[in-house]
Structures are given as structure tokens and as C-alpha cells.
């Protein structure tokens, strides 16, 4: 049966959290706010606007609307500098193998990401052409844990949500997949991604037998 496999981008296909961290840290320093790696972890799956809101909240800062917009643009310019250096070598282990397996089996393949830079990143790492549908931060109003991004991806694939499977590294994303009535597969630590239906440390632990079971379910 044709199932819809929806991939999150950041932390699932590529590790961009390190670049988000560098860019947010630089921005936080410029406004005298401390920003740690642990705080960066909490921004996984969180939209750009919400991320800056949280950083300001943690630093007890209030700024004007226009300064807020300026800081967001600065952060993104800085982040894009890192993205610009990306190539295929940054695709996380066995992601391409799993993608190719699913394509071979004629499954629906979509991207469901909160990032407004998702298309740029997919092109940089040469994966853009593998995706039948792409839904990203430019296409949705409500961010994860709202299920909008995954429901839109299912719609674009023309596959019912209950026949979709989501790969996600963030808690908010797992909650979004569960609310969308999809099978949620956490990529990361099981202690963090407790709400997921399945958790794997990374794609090297996902074998063809497991994928076949999902397809034939
Ligand atoms: C992903 C990342 C978040 C990031 C968000 C928006 O969900 O995990 O850390 O804030 O995308 O990314 P953007 O590229 O639009 O700033
Ligand atoms: Mg992610």
C-alpha cells in the first residue's frame, strides 16, 4: 500500500541545530543575553519568531517590534552564511539509503518542516528532487505542536493522515504527528521523545524489515 512518509528537516535529515546555535548565540551576545546549548535544544522544532520570543523571555528583555524584526533578519542572514557552506556530506547517516528504499517501493515522500529555509537547504544538500511534496515554514500559519504542517503534507501527497508516518527529532513535532493521527517516529533519545510510537537514535538503526512493516501495515 502507498503510505506517506513525512520527514522533518532540521535534526532529521541534516544537523542544522549547530548553525542555529551559532547564529542565535551571536545575536544574544549582541543584546547582552546569555544563551546556552541547553537553551538551544529547547528551540528544536520551534519557529523563528517563537525562538526569538523565548530568548528574549529567558534574558528578561523587551524590545520594540521594529527591533524584533531587525534581529530576526540579522539572525537569518548569519544562519544563511552557514547554510551556504553545506553540501551532500552533511546529510545524516543512512537518510539517503532510507529515502531511496522508500522511493523504490513507490511510497509518498514529503517534507514537513518549520523552517523557512527548508527549500534552500534541500537544494544545498542535493535532496530537493526526492520530495514529492514540501511543506515548510512559509506554508503554515500554526507551528508545531499544531499538526498543520503534517496535515498539509498529507494533503499534498493525497494520502490520508492515518496512512502517514512522520520522522521527527523534536518533542513539539512528535506531538504534532500524534495529533495528526499519524505514526510518529522519533529520531534521537527515547528519554526525550517518550511520546513517539517508535524511537531510533538515527537512521542507521532503521532497517528494511521495519520499513516494510510500516508500508504493509
Ligand atoms: C526548525 C528548527 C528550529 C528553527 C525552525 C525555523 O524547526 O528545528 O530550530 O527555529 O526550524 O527555522 P528557520 O530556518 O525558518 O529560521
Ligand atoms: Mg527538527
Ligand 1 pocket at CB < 6 A? 10-11, 20, 43-48, 51, 76, 114-117, 137
**Distances, alpha carbon 8 to alpha carbons 71, 72, 115, 167, in Å:** 25, 22, 9, 6
Can you tell me which atom of ligand 1 is nearest the CA of 121?
14
Q: What is the mean pLDDT of residues 172-194?
A: 97
| Residue with grid cell 535529515, as numbered in its chain | 13
Per-residue pLDDT, 109: 98
CA separation for the pair 56, 50 (Å, rounded): 10
ipTM for the assembly: 0.98
Evaluate if residue 12 carries a pLDDT over 90.
yes
Task: Out of 45, 80, 120, 187, give the residue to mutate to test ligand 1, the one with the largest number of ligand atoms within 8 Å of its CB.
Answer: 45
- How far apart, in whole angstroms, are the C-alpha atoms of residue 217 and residue 215? 6
| Sequence-ordered list of residues with C-beta below 8 angstroms from that of 24, at least 6 positions apart, any chain | 35, 40, 43, 51, 55, 75
Average confidence (pLDDT) over 173-193: 97
Q: Is 217 exposed, middle or buried (0-12, 13-18, 19+ CB in 10 A)?
A: exposed
Residue with CA nearest ligand 1 atom 12: 115
pTM of the entire predicted model: 0.97
Q: Phi and psi for 64 in degrees, rounded to 5? A: -75, 160
pLDDT > 90: percent of the chain: 99
State the pLDDT at residue 31: 95
Rounded to whole angstroms, the Cα distance separating 197 from 90 reads 27
Ligand of minimum distance to the alpha carbon of 50: 1
Closest of 171, 110, 181, 194 to residue 147, by C-alpha: 181
Mean pLDDT value across the chain: 97
Grid cell listed for 150: 503534517
Q: Which residues are catalytic?
A: 8, 10
Asked, as a colleague might, if the bond just before 119 is cis with ω within 30 of 0, I would say no
User: What is the residue with the minimal CA distance to atom 16 of ligand 1?
Assistant: 48
pLDDT of 211 above 90: yes
Q: What is the pLDDT of residues 45-78, one digit of tens each?
A: 999 999 999 999 999 999 999 999 999 999 999 9
- What is the percentage of the chain residues whose pLDDT exceeds 70? 100
- In this predicted structure, what is the pLDDT of residue 1? 86
- Over residues 9-23, mean pLDDT: 97
Distance CA 128, CA 84 (A): 15
Given this model, what pLDDT does residue 145 score? 96
Tell me the pLDDT tens digit for each residue of 133-173.
999 999 999 999 999 999 999 999 999 999 999 999 999 99
Best mutation site among 14, 47, 82 for ligand 1 pocket (most ligand atoms within 8 Å of CB): 47
**Would you state the pLDDT for residue 126?**
98
For residue 212, report the distance from its CA to the centre of ligand 2, in Å: 24
pLDDT at residue number 208: 97
Residue 128 and residue 25 in contact, taking contact as beta carbons nearer than 8 Å: no
Amino acid at each position: 500500500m502507498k503510505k506517506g512518509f513525512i520527514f522533518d528537516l532540521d535534526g532529521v535529515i541534516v544537523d542544522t541545530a549547530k548553525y542555529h546555535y551559532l547564529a542565535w548565540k551571536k545575536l544574544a551576545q549582541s543584546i547582552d543575553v546569555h544563551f546556552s546549548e541547553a537553551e538551544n535544544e529547547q528551540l528544536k522544532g520551534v519557529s523563528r519568531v517563537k525562538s526569538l520570543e523565548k530568548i528574549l523571555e529567558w534574558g528578561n528583555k523587551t524590545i520594540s517590534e521594529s527591533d524584533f524584526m531587525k534581529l530576526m533578519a540579522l539572525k537569518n542572514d548569519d544562519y544563511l552564511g552557514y547554510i551556504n557552506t553545506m553540501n551532500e556530506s552533511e546529510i545524516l547517516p543512512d537518510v539517503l539509503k532510507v529515502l531511496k528504499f522508500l522511493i523504490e517501493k513507490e511510497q509518498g515522500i514529503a517534507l514537513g518542516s518549520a523552517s523557512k529555509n527548508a527549500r534552500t537547504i534541500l537544494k544545498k544538500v542535493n535532496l530537493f528532487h526526492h520530495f514529492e511534496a514540501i511543506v515548510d515554514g512559509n506554508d503554515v500559519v500554526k507551528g508545531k505542536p499544531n499538526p498543520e504542517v503534517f496535515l498539509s503534507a498529507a494533503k499534498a501527497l493525497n494520502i490520508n493522515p492515518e496512512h502517514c508516518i512522520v520522522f521527527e527529532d523534536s518533542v513539539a513535532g512528535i506531538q504534532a504527528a500524534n495529533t495528526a493521527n499519524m505514526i510518529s517516529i522519533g529520531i534521537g533519545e527515547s528519554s526525550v521523545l517518550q511520546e513517539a510510537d517508535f524511537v531510533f537514535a538515527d537512521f542507521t538503526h532503521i532497517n528494511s524489515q521495519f520499513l516494510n512493516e510500516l508500508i504493509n501495515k
